[in-house]
Amino acid sequence: MLIVDAGNSRLALAIAAKLSLKCIKPGFKEFACGEYAVSIEQNLTGESLLVIGAADRQVDENYMKLLLLLDALKNKGAVSIILFLPYISYSRQDRATLDNDATSARVIANLLNSSPINQLVTLDIHSKQTASYFTKNLYNISAFDLFGELVRGLGDCVIIAPDKGAGARAQIFAAELGLDIALIDKQRIGNKVSSVLIKGEVLGKKCVIIDDIIDSGNTVKEAALLLRNNGVISLSAFITHGLFSENIPEDLQSLGLDELWITDSIVHNLLPNGVKKLDATAVIAHKIMPACSADIENFVVLSKIS
């Protein structure tokens, strides 16, 4: 098996080192009209490939380049292709809404379904709804696989779902660790939030927010303010994908947190002061290893998707 660097060089090289595999990097040429061509020097006839992709910045461009690359790999003779895409952009757009008539997650899934991949591996996919759009074998490395031991080390605490969408993910943590859970429930009238309630006991408790994505930080900030006003004694957050695409918070204090952990699923030039980044390479390599030592058909496992 070979590793193919499809835009996440740091992670591709780290996983290649962990699994003792060779890593190759294709070339891209951009034409004046904006189209791309892909070149691969190696002969891939009969090879099994693990493609390490990235689509979290310049999203549309990177998806197009990834799709072209996957086709090129098949044309060069690859017999099986596993795509590892740590973060699936558009995954939050998993249904049509009042201000978005497109089901964008389904569009992306259909593009990947039509590609020559045999398996898609990702980190903490956004929702079961997003997962349902993929017809190719899907393996989800759960948030618990990444953060479980760190949260266990905090001792007795309450797991917090900062909104309804994070509820199932938080329940997995609470059940695995034998901890209590509290849900922040936003009551809405139309598109407007009419009231916010905490379902669960947090007074005098250490609390841990669990979620898959932090971008502007507004969801976490609003949850933290509510929890502080209801008497929590400490507040940490463990969030898989740190997008921070704009209006990056200056520090943890501006978010109302004592501690914030994210993974290195997304490459950053700038993070809020005090954010701790988990190197997920070892966990990812361990979870992907069965695909590197067995037939692709034997790696069809769907882990807990929240």
Whole-angstrom CA distances from 161 to 11, 56, 172, 186, 276 are: 29, 24, 11, 11, 20
Round to whole Å and give the CA distance between 166 and 145: 16
CB atoms within 10 A of CB 9: 14
Q: Taking a C-beta distance cutoff of 8 angstroms, is the pair 138, 122 a contact? A: yes
Q: Taking a C-beta distance cutoff of 8 angstroms, is the pair 283, 103 a contact? A: no
C-alpha dihedral sign at 130, 132, 133, 138? positive
Round to whole Å and give the CA distance between 235 and 224: 7
Catalytic residue among 186, 206, 277, 304: 186
The DSSP code sequence of 145-172 is HHHHHHHHTT-S-EEEESSGGGHHHHHH
Round to whole Å and give the CA distance between 186 and 92: 18
Question: Length of the chain, please?
Answer: 306
Helix axes 143-152, 281-293, angle to 10 degrees: 140
- Is 186 labeled as catalytic in the residue annotation? yes
Of residues 86, 77, 28, 89, the one with CA closest to residue 49: 77
**Structure token digits, residue 238:** 């463990």
Round to whole Å and give the CA distance between 259 and 279: 17
Tell me the catalytic residues: 186
